Amino acid sequence: MIGSLTTLVELAVTGLYCAVSAVIPVLNAEAYLIAVATHTGVGFIGWLALAAAVGQVAGKMLFFAMGRGALMPRWLGRRARPRGKWLDRVQRWQQWAGRHTWGSATVTFGSAVVGLPPLAVWSVLAGSLRMRAWVFASCVVSGRYVRFIGVLALPAIVRAMWA
């Protein structure tokens, strides 16, 4: 089923759209996936979810890099640096993350699946907490995969209920 050119193009477009939607929240990945799922067979859902999850992690890595300080848009400048009570909160999170090695990974996975805390915000914080990039990326990919499997299954579930 993966062999056809149309299928590969659909996977590439899904990954690209989801990468862009990870950076521009107005472009909703879930709405796109529901639209795609209405025209796709159930056997293809896993591949679409994987393409979407990989696209999302590619976009969220930009936020992660901003948290690390490796990527800082000029328009943000000094406004992006925590001050006052926010600096205290970030430092407490850093201390907590230092004591609980897998705590940050658990929060990242939960954020990727549920959306709380918002993944864009958590991505910046995870970068500032010096979370390992491979741990962050693997938690986001696996969490988004779970989320997107559920989203892509919705049209089939609704069709089955009304059939």
pLDDT digits (tens, 9 = 90+) for 133-159: 999 999 999 999 999 999 999 998 898
3-state secondary structure of 122: helix
Distance CA 43, CA 32 (A): 18
Who's near 69: CB < 8 A, 6+ residues apart? 127, 128
pTM (2 decimals)? 0.86
Over residues 21-48, the mean pLDDT reads 91
**Per-residue pLDDT reduced to its tens digit, 78-134:** 555 666 777 787 778 778 877 877 888 999 999 999 998 899 989 988 998 889 999
Q: Cβ neighbours of residue 50 under 8 Å, at least 6 residues apart?
A: 145
Q: Hey, what are 14's tokens?
A: 């899904």
Residue 27 binned pLDDT confidence (cut-offs 50, 70, 90): very high
Residue the block writes with tokens 């056809």: 4
In the chain, domain spans: 5-161
Helix, strand, or coil (residue 25)? coil
Q: How far, in Å, are 16, 18, 68 from residue 5 at the CA level?
A: 16, 20, 38
- Residue 46 DSSP SS3: helix
